[in-house]
Structure 1
Amino acid sequence: MTETPNPNIIDADTLTGEMRPIRRVVIGLGSNLGDRLGNLQGAVDALSDTPDVWITGVSPVYESTPVDCPPGSGDFLNAVVLADTTLAANRLMDRALAIEDAYDRDRSHGVNAPRTLDVDLIVVGDRRSDTESLKLPHPQAHTRAFVLQPWLDLEPDAEFPGNGPVADLLAKVGTEGLKRRDDITLDIE
């Protein structure tokens, strides 16, 4: 995935006058506690309301069995959002965490615990990061059908940086435990 220039958007940093590049972003959403669909829709709405973030697509919703979660965890609803942004990756990560917090995300039980809302940055343009607070591209997403399938629905020719075509990755992973929910949809404001 590379930078996605949009000739119709010119966005200069008002403090420095420097141009900020527009990056294509892939964001994964998931919820398995509370009003799962409401939580996902709230995340889409919050992302849509974020300055300097322009949503360009929202995938179909999928229901998936929990991966690496404690026994008895409920099924997840998952979706992928595509957007263009001029935000720096760390600022976008801060926004993702703030959205999770607004939906009472509880992080005290570990990374794979059930959650009201998960907002994951999968890819932010060609950015690479391996810090404790930000890992890009997302280190497990290329092995997760609940990310790959909705992303593939939006971009059939998508490439996962460093791992190849999303279609090939999904073929390796398979779609067991993943069900498309055509009876529910997410809307872009």
Structure 2
Amino acid sequence: MNAAAHVLAYIGLGANLGDARASVEAALQRLNSLPQTRLDAASSLYATAPVDADGDDYVNAVARIDTALPAQELLRHLLDIEQDLGRERPGYNAPRTLDLDLLLYGEERIDEPGLIVPHPRMTQRAFVLVPLLQLDPLITIPGAGPAQGFMPDVAAQAIRLLKP
């Protein structure tokens, strides 16, 4: 890979069906095996109640990857991982075996069919902000500002660190 072409991207992971923890852990391993990509860091795992949905608590995490893949190609790989690990899409906000979201792709702002980066609801979700800030307490969300500034808005959302 050409070092100049590398981008740090952040991936949100979540699952609440089946063995949710195992699904998230398997997805983290798969991220490290993507072409032209290296898993740089992964947050702790967190348990969170579903937002705007029913079902069991989610297991959530955020991964930071170093990748040379273009954003749309990276998204295709994320969707493939979801599919390979049994993802079904019965409806919006439905319980799921695995959900992988491209949260940030370097400093880029992307608005294309099927891909909006930064993820449009990431500043409204403790299950994204808490693990994201664990990886980088000073991270800034392009076009929105420091991620830490959104924490008061999500303070009422329950999130619990899971033991390793």
TM over 0.5: yes
1:32 corresponds in structure 2 to 16
- Identity of paired residues, percent? 37
1:174 aligns with 2:155: yes
Q: Which runs of 4+ in 1 moved over 6 A?
A: none
Q: How does 1:38-53 map to 2 (within 5 A)?
A: 38-53=22-37
Higher relative strand content: 2
Higher deviation after alignment, 163-172 or 73-82: 163-172
Q: Larger radius of gyration, structure 1 or 2?
A: 1
2:119 corresponds in structure 1 to 138
Counterpart among 100, 104, 115 of residue 123 in structure 1: 104
Q: CA deviation at 1:111?
A: 2.5
Counterpart among 121, 132, 137 of residue 151 in structure 1: 132
- Aligned partners of 1:48, 1:78: CA distance in 2, in Å? 17
Q: CA RMSD in A?
A: 1.4
Higher deviation after alignment, 38-47 or 161-170: 161-170
Q: CA deviation at 1:56?
A: 1.2
Q: TM-score, normalised by structure 1?
A: 0.83
How big is each residue's C-alpha offset from its partner over 1:132-171, in whole Å with a ceiling of 9 and x where there is no partner? 3111111111111000000111111111111111111112
Give the count of matched residue pairs.
Answer: 164
2:70 corresponds in structure 1 to 88
Unaligned stretches of 5+ residues in structure 1 = 1-10, 13-18, 185-189
